[in-house]
């Protein structure tokens, strides 16, 4: 079973060819202090034993200009697909989505909160975004959401309105776990399991916070699998945004999930990614 990472980022070393245009108006610190180019990403993947990746647009560096990710996919189609960013409030959003799909990018990311945008955006369920969501359903594009639990009600509206669209919640949408079993503080996350088109992305943030307070990986992740099923969970390294080398981040993930069955781990580290981005199964 190939190991697939659905949340790495790449940063070019040529700012003239790939100019900065960060969402939020200022570049993220990580993209300045520990950037990783396409070539460095491949070297890191080889060292970590990661076979393929869905590179996620670095919105806090390039905004909606996905050119660097597209060029990486074009140069290494055997290793990468890409997850692009687009302004879904714009009237030409469906056109832009088709453009980036034509460049080999097979997923879309909506950035509604993050290091350069600390407050949860309010536009997630704005009717102006409906044409973009309809296009995603027609084109078979998964949508990953960088969001907080504050936006769950908005996300649920979109999951119900666009059931054909697979929605992936970055960082598991940042649930609170420190209260420990039975994880009552994370009930709003567990309640999302009823929406069959909602998937969760397990990242370093997820694994680190599963060790805070009374939480442990051994009590949290089996419960998560029992509620969502491993078929709706996928691993993303968040490298290099998360500190550490890719081998270290992969080890953090594997160590955190040793409590699961081999079948569950196969889904989380590869098979779910292939269902979200079928090109990675080729």
Per residue in 237-257, pLDDT (tens digit) is: 999 999 999 999 999 999 999
Per residue in 218-233, pLDDT (tens digit) is: 999 999 999 999 999 9
- Cβ atoms of 58 and 12 within 8 Å: the answer is no
Closest CA to 72 of 106, 105, 107, 28: 105
Domains with residue ranges and CATH for the chain: 4-281 (3.20.20.140)
Per residue in 88-132, pLDDT (tens digit) is: 999 999 999 999 999 999 999 997 766 556 666 777 899 999 999
pTM flag (> 0.85): yes
């Amino acid at each position: 079973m190939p190991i697939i990472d659905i949340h790495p980022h790449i940063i070019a070393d040529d700012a003239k060819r790939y100019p900065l245009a960060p969402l939020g108006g200022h570049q993220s610190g990580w993209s300045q202090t520990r950037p990783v180019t396409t070539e460095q990403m491949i070297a890191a993947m080889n060292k970590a034993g990661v076979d393929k990746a869905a590179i996620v647009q670095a919105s806090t560096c390039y905004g909606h200009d996905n050119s660097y990710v597209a060029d990486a996919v074009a140069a290494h189609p055997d290793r990468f697909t890409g997850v692009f960013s687009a302004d879904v409030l714009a009237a030409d959003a469906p056109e832009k989505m088709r453009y980036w799909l034509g460049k080999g990018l097979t997923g879309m990311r909506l950035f509604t909160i993050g290091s350069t945008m600390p407050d949860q955006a309010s536009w997630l369920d704005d009717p102006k975004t409906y044409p973009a969501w309809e296009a995603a359903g027609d084109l078979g594009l998964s949508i990953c959401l960088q969001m907080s639990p504050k936006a769950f009600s908005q996300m649920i509206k979109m999951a119900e309105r666009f059931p054909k669209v697979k929605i992936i919640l970055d960082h598991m949408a940042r649930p609170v776990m420190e209260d420990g079993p039975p994880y009552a503080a994370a009930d709003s996350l567990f309640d999302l399991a009823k929406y069959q088109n909602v998937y969760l992305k397990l990242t370093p943030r997820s694994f680190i916070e599963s060790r805070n307070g009374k939480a442990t990986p051994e009590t949290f992740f089996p419960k998560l699998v029992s509620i969502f099923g491993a078929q709706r969970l996928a691993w993303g390294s968040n490298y290099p945004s998360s500190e550490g080398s890719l081998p270290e981040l992969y080890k953090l993930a594997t160590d955190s999930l040793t409590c699961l069955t081999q079948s569950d781990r196969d889904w989380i580290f590869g098979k779910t990614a292939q269902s979200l981005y079928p090109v990675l199964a080729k």
